[in-house]
Chains A and B, each alone.
Chain A
Amino acid sequence: MKQITRRTILATAPAAIALTGLPVRAEKQYDPGVTDSEIKVGNTAPYSGPASNYSTIWKCEAAYFKMINAQGGINGRQINFISYDDAYSPPKTVEMTRKLVEQDQVFVIAGGAGTPTNTAIWKYMNQHEVPQLFVATGATKWDDPKGHPWTIGFQPNYQSEGRIYATYILQNKPDGKIGVLYQNDDFGKDYLKGVKDGLGAKAASMIKVEATYETTDPTVDSQVVNIKAAGCDVFINTAINKFAAQAIRKAAEIEWRPLHILSGIGNSLAGTLKPAGLEASKGLVTDFFLKDPTDPQWKDDAGYKWWLGFMNEWYPEGDKNDALNVFGPTAAATIAQVLKACGDELTRANVMKQAANLHELSLPMLLPGITISTGPTDFAPIKQVQLARFDGERWQLFGSVISSALPA
Chain B
Amino acid sequence: MEQLLQQVVAGLATGAIYATMALAVVMVYQAIDHLNFAQGELATFSTFLAWQMIEWGWSYWAAFAMTVAISFVIGIAIDRVLFRPVRNAPILSQLVAFIALFSILNSSDGEIWNFTIKTFPTPFGTKPLFGSGLISTHQAGMVAVTLVMLALLYLFFRGSRLGLAMRAAAANPEAARLVGIRVGWMIALGWGLSTAIGAVAGMLIAPIVFLDPNMMLGVLLYGFAGAVLGGLSSPGGAVFGGFAVGIIENLAGTFIPFVGQELKLTVALIVIVAVLMVRPAGIFGQVAVSRV
Contact = CB atoms under 8 A, between A and B. Distances in A.
| A–B in direct contact per CB < 8 Å | yes
Interface of A: 48, 50, 52-53, 55-56, 184, 210-212, 214-219, 221-223, 225-226, 229, 241-242, 245-246, 253-255, 270-272, 274-275, 319, 321-322
A312 to B, nearest CB: 17
B105 interface: no
B221 A216 contact: yes
A270 B119 CA distance: 11
Chain B CB count within 10 A is highest, among A253, A270, A271, A272, for A253
A226 B133 CA distance: 13
Contacts of A254: 128, 133-134
Contact of A212 (B114, B249, B262): B262
23 contacts: A50-B214, A52-B110, A52-B213, A52-B214, A212-B261, A218-B17, A218-B18, A218-B205, A218-B219, A219-B209, A223-B253, A229-B2, A241-B116, A241-B117, A242-B212, A253-B136, A254-B133, A254-B134, A255-B133, A275-B210, A321-B116, A322-B114, A322-B116
Given A52-B214, A218-B219, A271-B117, 16 more contacts: A53-B115, A56-B115, A214-B265, A217-B218, A218-B17, A221-B208, A222-B254, A225-B10, A226-B253, A241-B117, A246-B210, A253-B128, A275-B118, A319-B114, A322-B114, A322-B116
A255 to B, nearest CB: 6
B114 A56 contact: yes
B117 A242 contact: yes
Contacts of B118: 275
B107 interface: yes
Contact of A53 (B210, B212, B254): B212
A85 B25 CA distance: 32
Q: Which 7 A-B pairs have the closest CB atoms?
A: A53-B115, A216-B218, A254-B133, A222-B10, A222-B250, A275-B119, A242-B117
B11 interface: yes
A48 B107 contact: yes
Nearest to A241: B117
A53 B208 contact: no
A241 B2 CA distance: 30
Nearest to A216: B218
Contacts of A321: 116
Interface in B99-148: 107, 110, 114-119, 126, 128, 133-134, 136
Interface residues of B, number: 42
Contacts of B250: 222
Nearest to A242: B117
A319 B116 contact: yes
A74 to B, nearest CB: 30
Contacts of B222: 218
A314 B10 CA distance: 46
Given A210-B261, A211-B261, A254-B133, A218 B209 contact: yes
A56 B115 CA distance: 9
A222 B7 contact: yes
A219 B261 contact: no
Contacts of A223: 253
Contacts of A241: 116-117
A242 B18 CA distance: 19
Most central of A217, A241, A255, A319 by chain B CB within 10 Å: A217
A52 B111 CA distance: 10
B3 A229 contact: yes
A48 B119 CA distance: 23
Contacts of A184: 262
Contact of A271 (B116, B205, B219): B116
Contacts of A52: 110, 115, 213-214
Interface string B151-182: 00000000000000000000000000000000
